[in-house]
């Protein structure tokens, strides 16, 4: 604080050099009249301005870093999923390249979409996707476009690795595949006659199989399954054998197709644990325990034999209640010695002249349909029966005929579990 005074008599101003109190000055003691001027700091508005400025500085000091961090987090939230998805796709591509080195040709999705003209010519479809016909590099092919989540990466790899690493005249040939982002496609050899179910269920068709053609198809299926079970380094259980999975070429040669539900079994394993999968009507009783062997395919094969002989579906709810299930119908006809009634063309000359062969084929189906999997034949034994090297023993037939009460109990539980907990397969 600066202080100065003024002598009122002559107007002279002077600095006050000593600190004093105005109250202590007695007017009568002063030898001059004086006025004191005090210079003081007025802090009301200034201090308010300073305080506001300080607040602004604090707010800025807090807001700027917070805003920067928030913006950074938003950027990370936007970019991270994209980069993660990109890295995941790259990792999957790398994994496919490692796992499938030496496997069939890998095609781009764009090439397959282009060659199928935008997937326009559809051959068929089912639970796992649709099949399209087209020419690829001058070769007629069937492109299977897998859809939805029911067949994911694991199932896709199972199919590619399984069928891509084996080759047999009665197994469908995998030419190539596509594994690009979420797209999963399989390129198979083209089978001009389509799937077996189109021929055996269509009673309106003018073309009917003669008995020799039916026998040939059954033998081809057996040879394809035998190779899967006994001819590969690791045993392969198909787990979804049915007419929709059997494809026919121009000469009605049959090939087993679609390995999306297949299971690899080590040779030293007696059984494997797996969740129920397949199609109702073709599933063996042991699926109730989830402990299965390749004999589940033998059971399904037995059902397919009956369908080929009878020309009807294994479960047909359009029929009277006692005839809905083809296995019960077979048991009834065999017990009443009415075998020939089960034949699709039981009035044709071809069927009548081959009655004994037809009955032997039904007995083979009975052997394959034994409740106890250990009592079923191997597929190599089935081939021997089909080729006439051995015959089905009578006690096996009796075992099938006496299993009625056991089967009915198992089927009730069985169909319930299939509806509730299985991986069900649709058409090819």
- CA distances from residue 258 to 156, 214, 295 in whole angstroms, order as listed: 10, 21, 18
Residue positions annotated with a catalytic role:
240
Report how many helices (DSSP H) and strands (DSSP E) the chain contains, helices first: 12, 18
* In contact, 103 and 164? CB cutoff 8 Å: yes
- CA distances from residue 250 to 195, 247, 253, 307 in whole angstroms, order as listed: 12, 10, 7, 21
Within 10 Å of residue 394's Cβ, how many Cβ atoms?
A: 9
Supply the Cα-derived Rg of the chain in whole angstroms: 43
CA 197 to centroid of chain Cα atoms: 24
Name beta bridge partners: 247.
195, 255
Within 10 Å of residue 313's Cβ, how many Cβ atoms?
A: 19
> What CA–CA distance (Å, rounded) separates 161 from 366?
33
Closest CA to 358 of 309, 391, 400: 309
> What CA–CA distance (Å, rounded) separates 331 from 31?
147
CA 324 to centroid of chain Cα atoms: 31
Name, in order, each residue with C-beta under 8 angstroms of 383's C-beta and a sequence gap of 6 or more.
219, 222, 223, 226
Q: Encoding tokens for residue 162?
A: 């399984």
Name beta bridge partners: 235.
265
Q: Encoding tokens for residue 219?
A: 């033998």
- CA distances from residue 283 to 15, 277, 293, 298, 379 in whole angstroms, order as listed: 117, 8, 12, 10, 17
Please give the span between the terminal C-alpha atoms of the chain, in angstroms, as a whole number.
Answer: 101
> What CA–CA distance (Å, rounded) separates 100 from 365?
38
Name beta bridge partners: 192.
none
| DSSP annotation of 322 | G
């Amino acid at each position: 604080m600066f202080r100065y005074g003024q002598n009122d008599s002559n107007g002279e101003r002077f600095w006050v050099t000593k600190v004093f109190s105005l109250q202590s000055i007695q007017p009568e003691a002063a030898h001059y009249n004086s006025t004191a001027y005090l210079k003081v700091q007025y802090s009301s508005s200034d201090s308010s301005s300073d305080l506001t400025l300080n607040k602004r500085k604090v707010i800025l000091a807090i807001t700027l870093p917070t805003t920067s961090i928030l913006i950074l987090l938003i950027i990370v939230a936007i970019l991270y999923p994209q980069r993660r998805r990109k890295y995941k796709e790259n990792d999957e591509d790398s994994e496919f390249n490692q796992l499938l080195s030496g496997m069939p040709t890998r095609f781009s999705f764009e090439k397959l979409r282009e060659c199928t003209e935008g997937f326009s010519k559809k051959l068929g479809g089912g639970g796992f996707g649709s099949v399209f016909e087209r020419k690829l590099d001058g070769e007629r092919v069937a492109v299977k476009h897998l859809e939805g989540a029911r067949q994911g990466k694991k199932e896709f790899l199972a199919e590619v690795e399984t069928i891509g690493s084996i080759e047999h005249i009665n197994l469908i040939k995998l030419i190539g595949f596509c594994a690009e982002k979420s797209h999963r496609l399989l390129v198979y050899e083209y089978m001009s006659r389509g799937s077996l179910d189109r021929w055996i269920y269509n009673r309106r068709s003018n073309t009917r199989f003669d008995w020799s053609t039916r026998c040939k198809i059954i033998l081809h299926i057996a040879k394809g399954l035998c190779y899967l079970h006994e001819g590969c380094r690791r045993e392969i259980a198909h787990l979804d054998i049915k007419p929709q999975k059997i494809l026919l070429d121009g000469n009605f040669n049959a090939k087993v197709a679609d390995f999306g539900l297949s299971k690899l079994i080590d040779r030293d394993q007696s059984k494997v644990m797996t969740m129920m999968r397949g199609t109702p009507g073709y599933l063996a009783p042991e699926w109730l325990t989830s402990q299965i062997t390749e004999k589940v395919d033998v059971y399904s094969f037995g059902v397919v034999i009956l369908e080929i002989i009878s020309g009807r579906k294994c479960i047909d709810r359009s029929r009277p209640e006692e005839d809905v299930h083809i296995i019960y119908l077979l048991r009834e006809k065999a017990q009443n010695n009415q075998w020939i009634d089960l034949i699709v063309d039981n009035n044709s000359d071809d069927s009548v002249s081959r009655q004994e062969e037809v009955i032997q084929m039904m007995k083979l189906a009975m052997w394959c349909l034994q409740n106890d999997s250990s009592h079923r034949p191997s597929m190599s034994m089935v081939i021997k029966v089909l080729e006439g090297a051995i015959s089905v023993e009578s006690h096996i037939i009796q075992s099938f005929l006496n299993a009625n009460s056991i089967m009915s109990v198992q089927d009730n539980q069985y169909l319930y579990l299939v509806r509730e907990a299985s991986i069900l397969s649709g058409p090819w």
